[in-house]
Every structure is written in C-alpha cells, then in structure tokens.
Amino acid sequence: MARHPPPDGASARGGLDAVRVGVHALGMTSIFVNIPTTDLERSMAFYRALGCDINPNFTDENAACIVWSEDIFFMVLKREYFATFTTKPIGEPKEWAQASLSFSRDSRADVDAIVQAGLAAGGTEPGPAQDYGFMYSRDLDDPDGNSLGFLYMDPVAAEQGPPADAAVTDAA
C-alpha cells in the first residue's frame, strides 16, 4: 500500500485530525453512499429508528435520502432504480458483502444503544461485539442485509494509533 505524505500542517501521526485536513484538502466535503433495498418504507423506518433524518427533497417512490450528519448521506434505492446507475449486476446484500460502512460513536454505551435500536427495528447482529481494548465495535445488518459497523475508539488511540499489543476479544 502506497503511503502518501500528510497534507501541509499535519504530522504523519496526526490521527483523525490529519485525515480530516487531508479529505478537505482534496476538495471532498460530503459522502453519499448508494445502497439497494427491496422495501423502501421499511428501510426508511429502520434508519429513522437509528436516529437518522430523511431529506424529503431527495426522497420519492424510488429513493430516500438518509441523513447521518451534515456531511454523510445514504441514498437508499429500490433495487430496480439502483440498477439504472450501473451496468454491473446488483449483489444481494444478505448473501454477499459489498461494503461495510462504519460510524464512530462517542462512547461504548452509544455503540450499544444504536445497535439495540437497529435490532428493535428489524436489523440483525451478524456476530458478537469486538473489544480490542482501545476500540469497541459492533456490527449491524439492516433489513436488506447492508452491513453497518459502529465503534468507539479511545481518544488517545484515535490520535496516536493502536497499541502494538492490541488483540481482539469477543466482548459478549
């Protein structure tokens, strides 16, 4: 893997702040992720249960704009509509991993709370929580099988990197 020099004003070990500076230096300001669904109403209800908003300006009978933050959005698209954006076959998220999208939370309790909300709204947890000591994470599949990860990372590790002896343990 090629390593790129840090942007001006950022150290090589500048942690998440260096990543943020680098992303904005590249002119990227927002993230839009398109994911397929077989049931648009169910998907909207699921993401609302996780605390997301729906942007009505970009929501219709084919798609819903899920707002995670002012910079992060999911476009949940009916499979037929999703297919109009690519010539590739659309995979079945319950059978094939296409991507796993992870979101940081402010605490372990926040990780647990959002996963519990997702489970109550029809999501599934494909495996046990993972505890790396410096980082705690849990995975959640939405009702269509799209994979989400939620994690809390110790602020020191977020800035300096994980300890050399970090090992994963099931937190269950």
- Higher-confidence residue of 168 and 83: namely 83
Q: How many CA atoms lie less than 13 Å away from 4 in the CB half-sphere?
A: 9
Q: Facing residues of 139 across strands?
A: 149
pTM: 0.73
Helices and strands (H, E) in the chain, number of each type: 5, 9
Given this model, what pLDDT does residue 167 score?
61
Q: Please state the rounded mean pLDDT for residues 53-75.
A: 95
Write down the architecture of domain 29-79 according to CATH.
Answer: Roll (3.10)
Contact yes or no for 15/104 (Cβ under 8 A): no
Given this model, what pLDDT does residue 118 score?
97
116-156 pLDDT tens trace = 999 999 999 999 999 988 899 999 999 999 999 999 998 88
For the chain, what are the domain ranges? 29-79, 99-172
Q: Which fold has domain 99-172?
A: 2,3-Dihydroxybiphenyl 1,2-Dioxygenase; domain 1 (3.10.180)
Residues 6+ apart with CB under 8 A from 61: 40
Domain 29-79 and domain 99-172, same fold? Reply is yes
